[in-house]
């Protein structure tokens, strides 16, 4: 199989057309995925520069590197850029866009032009956000809490809100496209029970995108109405209720956490199956747990508001429901682990990232239980404990999975292999750097350091220094893959069509795939992860 | 303030319970981490690829799935129960607590004791006595957080938020604003000074002669003309306020409402919102006319008309009695 024609000599989606116009006006889901890859990576590094400046300021207790107002713009910019312009689109819009049609045996997404529109909306929103950054920034935090955001705050709130609003439509269109595609465009024989878990995860994610995102759009419109026209919605001075904003905001923004993590879980299922050479243990349970998370995710939003002044009984109910969402997440972790039982495990870079994901997500998930526990949450909410928790889940989890997936599908996307040794090293550096950055923050939070402080009492310094030191290592762990992956575009080993001898339709076409994905229309007569039928393991590469 | 770098001081009635529950969760989490990471390490090592050894296709096991779905639920329920008990207790202020009125603004804490002592960014409290804070904000949302007491409560504009504690260790502890509130958010900090009751009394008696808060409220009650309608003898156009605090009153529309700090506040600022049955909505609003401090004094005065007034002794004091909810 790997002895096939050199990809360069064969027409594929990369060399089918040339010129800037062929990229900017493309409707090929794979090219759009690459457009997203470039733009999302750009925003990741903007957000990363913010993070670096935040960590540098926190190296000393005094507020000495930047002014208080500047610091407030740094963490707000970091949050808005990372959440809306990196974490939410990173897996669905890049890997999802590239893989969803191929994995189900379709030629493209159901609405290729809407897919391109999604990217343009992302770019317009991103451009607006860059404008906000360059003209002074915004200091509301990514949470835009009222009445601070409507009656006070820096002047760019409306523009930042508009950027998030427009970006929301990019999400909604992507979600809509995936739902219709997965329902209507599966290849003959690709039944729901044969759908890969990455598809199940993206399907569940799309449901949240389509059902949840409009709520944040409405909320941001209300916020702008109050800020610009002084309509009393959230500000008590105008007759509004500030808690209403928090309810609406978290009604989207809690499920949004699952928009970020669910597709990542889908990646991990693919990686563990491939590098254990086995069907995922408890396939149905892993598939349906994605749907369970999507549904339960809508019922727990007010756990962000236990100290906000909600009624006692509401808090009790939301605490209780929050524990239930731990069950489907735990099911996934247990099944991934059990998949290795009697498998044939190898330790290529993607698998190392999958191990890293299990490690970070488990810690992130377990500390979520602390926050669901009312008595403990009262003490640690709005402290660094929360900061550590959500970075473990959203950053540790999502970035580990994204990088794992990127390495795994890199040969399919580009036709070339990444350098394996460097890949392993980067995975290790990233894992160590991440833990060194964020684990001390759990302790810092329990000791009582509030978040969003640019100066702090001296007894918090030691843990902050550790965290900043870790952040520099983490920065290397994230920059390193950027360097060698770009290098591999020209110098990487030519990949075969299926370098991992992996199951799944995406490995049955050429690398890189042709514009319409398959040379012949695929027919599916096998189950997902049929590794027992792929026994001849090639020894080359 | 001798916090250790790894563990906070513990100086209130809440600290032992919260710490105990936290340690329990840490232990359970550690066991889970050892089990999961151990299983990943063990399985990935034992079943690493070996020449000639084929992977065995395994579908899964319903028994295992049910076990590892149901088993964690027992732990989850224990966590929920432990946390809920602490929380419910935290939201139920006891009778007879010392009541301190707190007004938060960008970027300072203003505190007023019932005896009339005023403080800024520092709060003196007596050791071993229940202290109840009745808090509001003049601008944005703040949050009153004392890590050594393991307690925190957001302070919202337009309503009272309640927090209570009993200090158990003399000393000076951090007070932080925990809800982001603008430029000087990290400067909106202060100290909680816990003193023995005798020292506290000495501190209260020191300084200039203060007028007790309720007395200030009584004066305002007369000056603002409240007294012309809210007479002591049931002949006035407004309800008699004696003994009203902590009781339920019936409204015109047949509902009843508990008279707590938030209801008193609402009735002064938005008198038409929840009119007591049998009275006409004739009271003018005092929104924009009186300051938060005067409002606190009036509320303290009305409460002083109920002998042995403490908190209503129910969780309702904390509930959603927002200003608009009654319309």
A153: contact with B, CB 8 A cutoff: yes
A175: contact with B, CB 8 A cutoff: no
A366: contact with B, CB 8 A cutoff: yes
pLDDT value of residue A532: 86
Question: Looking at beta carbons, which residues of chain A come within 8 Å of B181?
Answer: 148
Q: Which residues, listed in sequence order, are joined to residue A227 by a DSSP beta bridge?
A: none
The single residue listed with the structure tokens 């500047």 is A70
Answer yes or no: do B79 and A323 touch at CB < 8 A: yes
- Mean pLDDT check: name the lowest of A354-363, A515-524, B88-97, B232-241: B232-241
Which whole number is the average pLDDT over A35-45?
97
Answer yes or no: do B8 and A340 touch at CB < 8 A: no
Question: Looking at beta carbons, which residues of chain B come within 8 Å of A63?
Answer: 186
At B278, the pLDDT band (50, 70, 90 cuts) reads confident
pLDDT value of residue A536: 57
- Lookup: tokens for A505: 């339709």
Which whole number is the average pLDDT over B271-281?
88
Three-state DSSP class for residue B7: coil
pLDDT value of residue B307: 76
Q: How far is B231 from chain A (nearest CA, A)?
A: 30
Answer yes or no: do A372 and B83 touch at CB < 8 A: yes
Three-state DSSP class for residue A77: helix
At A9, the pLDDT band (50, 70, 90 cuts) reads low
Which whole number is the average pLDDT over A400-419?
97
Do A110 and A180 contact (CB within 8 A), yes or no? yes
pLDDT value of residue B318: 40
Residue B1 has pLDDT above 70, yes or no: no
* pLDDT, chain A, mean: 94
Q: Which residues contact B37 (CB under 8 A, 6 or more apart)?
A: A358, A359, A362
% of chain A surpassing 70 pLDDT: 97
- Mean pLDDT check: name the lowest of A183-197, A520-534, B126-140: A520-534
At A153, the pLDDT band (50, 70, 90 cuts) reads confident
pLDDT tens-place string over residues A317-326? 999 999 999 9
Between residues A541 and A364, the one the model is more confident about: A364
Question: Looking at beta carbons, which residues of chain B come within 8 Å of A373?
Answer: 21, 25, 79-80, 82-83
* pLDDT, chain B, mean: 89
Which whole number is the average pLDDT over A452-480?
96
Closest CA to A313 of B69, B300, B303, B314: B314
Question: Which of A374, A455, A461, A530 to substitute to test the interface with B, most B CBs within 10 Å?
Answer: A374
Which pTM does this prediction carry? 0.92
Instruction: State which residue of chain B sits closest to A444, comparing Cα positions.
Output: B6
Instruction: State which residue of chain A sits closest to B51, comparing Cα positions.
Output: A344
Question: Looking at beta carbons, which residues of chain B come within 8 Å of A152?
Answer: 106, 139-140, 182
Instruction: State which residue of chain B sits closest to A141, comparing Cα positions.
Output: B180
Between residues B231 and A113, the one the model is more confident about: A113
CA angle A376, A323, B320 (to 5 degrees): 65
b/e sequence A484-501, b meaning 16+ C-beta within 10 Å:
bbeebeeebebbbbbbbb
pLDDT value of residue B308: 63
- Mean pLDDT check: name the lowest of A69-78, A390-399, B254-263, B304-313: B304-313
Shortest CB distance from A316 goes to which of B2, B84, B324? B84
Question: Looking at beta carbons, which residues of chain A come within 8 Å of B176?
Answer: 448, 450, 453
Q: How far is A447 from chain B (nearest CA, A)?
A: 4
Question: Looking at beta carbons, which residues of chain B come within 8 Å of A340?
Answer: 40, 43-44, 47
Say how many CA atoms lie within 13 Å of B78 toward its Cβ. Answer: 10
Between residues A69 and B313, the one the model is more confident about: A69
pLDDT value of residue B182: 94
Residue A534 has pLDDT above 90, yes or no: no
Residue A3 has pLDDT above 50, yes or no: no
pLDDT tens-place string over residues B286-320? 988 899 999 999 999 999 888 764 444 333 334 44
ipTM of the complex: 0.92
Which whole number is the average pLDDT over B70-75?
93
Question: Which of B178, B260, B265, B317 to substitute to test the interface with A, most A CBs within 10 Å?
Answer: B178
Contacts within 8 Å (CB) and 24+ apart, B87-90:
B87/A306, B87/A312, B87/A315, B87/A316, B87/A319, B87/A374, B87/A375, B87/A378, B88/A312, B88/A316, B88/B315, B90/A375, B90/A378, B90/B14, B90/B151, B90/B163, B90/B164
Question: Looking at beta carbons, which residues of chain B come within 8 Å of A279?
Answer: 57-59
A531: contact with B, CB 8 A cutoff: yes
A65: contact with B, CB 8 A cutoff: no
Shortest CB distance from B1 goes to which of A69, A346, A457? A457
Cis status of the peptide bond prior to A512, with omega within 30 of 0 = yes
- Lookup: tokens for A46: 């903007």
Residue A421 has pLDDT above 80, yes or no: yes
Residue count of chain B, please give it.
327
End-to-end CA distance of chain B: give it in Å, rounded: 48
- Lookup: tokens for B31: 């066991």
CA angle B111, B117, B123 (to 5 degrees): 40
């Amino acid at each position: 199989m790997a002895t096939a024609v050199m990809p360069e000599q064969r027409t594929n989606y990369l060399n089918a057309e040339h010129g800037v116009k062929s990229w900017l006006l493309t409707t090929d889901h794979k090219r759009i995925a690459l457009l997203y890859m470039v733009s999302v990576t750009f925003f990741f590094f903007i957000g990363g520069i913010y993070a670096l400046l935040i960590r540098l300021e926190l190296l000393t207790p005094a507020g000495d590197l930047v002014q208080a107002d500047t610091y407030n713009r740094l963490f707000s910019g970091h949050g808005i850029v990372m959440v809306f312009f990196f974490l939410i689109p990173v897996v669905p819009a890049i890997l999802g866009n590239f893989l969803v049609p191929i994995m189900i045996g379709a030629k493209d997404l159901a609405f290729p032009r809407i897919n391109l529109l999604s990217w343009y909306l992302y770019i317009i929103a991103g451009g607006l956000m860059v404008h906000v950054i360059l003209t002074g920034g915004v200091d509301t935090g990514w949470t835009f809490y009222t009445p601070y955001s409507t009656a006070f705050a820096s002047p760019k709130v409306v523009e930042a809100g508009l950027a998030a609003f427009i970006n929301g439509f990019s999400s909604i269109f992507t979600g809509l496209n995936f739902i219709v595609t997965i329902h209507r465009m599966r290849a003959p024989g690709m039944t729901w029970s044969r759908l890969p878990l990455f598809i199940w995860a993206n399907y569940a994610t799309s449901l949240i995108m389509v059902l949840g995102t409009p709520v944040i759009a409405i909320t941001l419109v209300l916020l702008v109405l109050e800020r610009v026209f002084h309509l009393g919605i959230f500000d008590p001075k105008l007759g509004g209720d500030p808690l209403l904003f928090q309810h609406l905001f978290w009604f989207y923004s809690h499920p949004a956490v699952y928009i970020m993590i669910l597709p990542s879980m889908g990646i991990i299922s693919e990686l563990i199956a491939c590098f254990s050479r086995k069907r995922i243990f408890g396939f149905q349970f892993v598939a349906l747990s994605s749907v369970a998370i999507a549904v339960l995710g809508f019922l727990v939003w007010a756990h962000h508001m236990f100290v906000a002044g909600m009624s006692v009984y509401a808090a009790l109910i939301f605490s209780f429901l929050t524990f239930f969402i731990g069950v489907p997440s735990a099911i996934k972790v247990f099944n991934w682990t059990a998949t290795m039982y009697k498998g044939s495990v190898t330790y290529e870079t993607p698998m190392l990232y999958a191990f890293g994901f299990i490690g970070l997500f488990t810690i992130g998930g377990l500390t979520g239980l602390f926050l669901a526990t009312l008595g403990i949450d009262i003490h640690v909410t709005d402290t660094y404990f929360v900061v550590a928790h959500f970075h473990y889940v959203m950053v540790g989890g999502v970035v580990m999975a994204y990088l794992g997936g990127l390495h795994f599908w890199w040969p399919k996307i580009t036709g070339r292999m990444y350098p394996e040794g460097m890949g392993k090293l980067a995975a290790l550096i990233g894992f160590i750097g991440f833990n060194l950055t964020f684990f001390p923050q759990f302790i810092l939070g329990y000791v009582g350091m509030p978040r969003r402080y640019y100066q702090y009492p001296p007894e918090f310094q030691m843990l902050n220094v550790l965290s900043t030191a870790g952040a520099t290592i983490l920065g290397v762990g994230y920059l390193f893959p950027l360097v060698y992956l770009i290098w591999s575009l020209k110098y990487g080993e030519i990949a075969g069509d299926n370098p991992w001898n992996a199951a799944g339709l995406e490995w049955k076409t050429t690398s890189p795939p042709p514009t319409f994905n398959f040379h012949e229309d695929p027919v599916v007569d096998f189950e997902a992860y049929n590794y027992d039928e792929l026994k001849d393991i090639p020894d080359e590469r | 303030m001798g916090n250790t770098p790894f563990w906070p001081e513990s100086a209130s009635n809440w600290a032992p319970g919260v710490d105990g529950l936290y340690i329990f969760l840490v232990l359970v989490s550690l066991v889970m981490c050892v089990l999961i990471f151990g299983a990943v390490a063990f399985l990935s090592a034992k079943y690493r690829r070996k020449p000639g050894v084929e992977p065995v296709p395994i579908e899964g096991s319903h028994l295992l799935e049910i076990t590892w779905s149901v088993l964690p639920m027992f732990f989850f329920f224990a966590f929920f129960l432990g946390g809920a008990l602490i929380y419910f207790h935290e939201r139920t202020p006891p009778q007879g607590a010392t009541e301190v009125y707190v007004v938060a603004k960008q970027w300072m804490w203003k505190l007023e004791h019932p005896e009339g002592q005023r403080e800024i960014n520092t709060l003196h409290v007596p050791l071993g006595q229940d202290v109840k804070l009745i808090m509001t904000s003049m601008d944005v949302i703040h949050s009153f957080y004392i890590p050594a007491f393991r307690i925190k409560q957001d302070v919202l504009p337009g309503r009272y938020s309640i927090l209570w504690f009993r200090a158990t260790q003399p000393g000076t502890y951090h007070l932080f604003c925990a809800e982001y509130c603008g430029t000087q958010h990290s400067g909106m900090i202060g100290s909680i000074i816990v003193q023995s009751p005798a020292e506290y009394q000495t501190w209260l008696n020191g300084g200039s002669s203060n007028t007790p808060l309720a007395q200030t409220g009584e004066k305002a009650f007369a000056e603002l003309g409240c007294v012309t309608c809210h007479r002591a003898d049931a002949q006035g156009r407004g309800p008699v306020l004696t003994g009203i605090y902590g009781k339920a009153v019936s409204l015109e529309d047949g509902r009843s409402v508990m008279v707590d700090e938030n209801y008193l506040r609402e009735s002064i600022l938005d008198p038409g919102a929840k009119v007591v049955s049998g009275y006409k909505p004739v009271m003018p609003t005092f929104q924009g006319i009186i300051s938060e401090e005067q409002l606190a004094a009036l509320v303290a005065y009305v409460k002083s008309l109920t002998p042995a007034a403490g908190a209503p002794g129910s969780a309702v004091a904390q509930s959603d009695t927002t200003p608009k909810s009654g319309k």
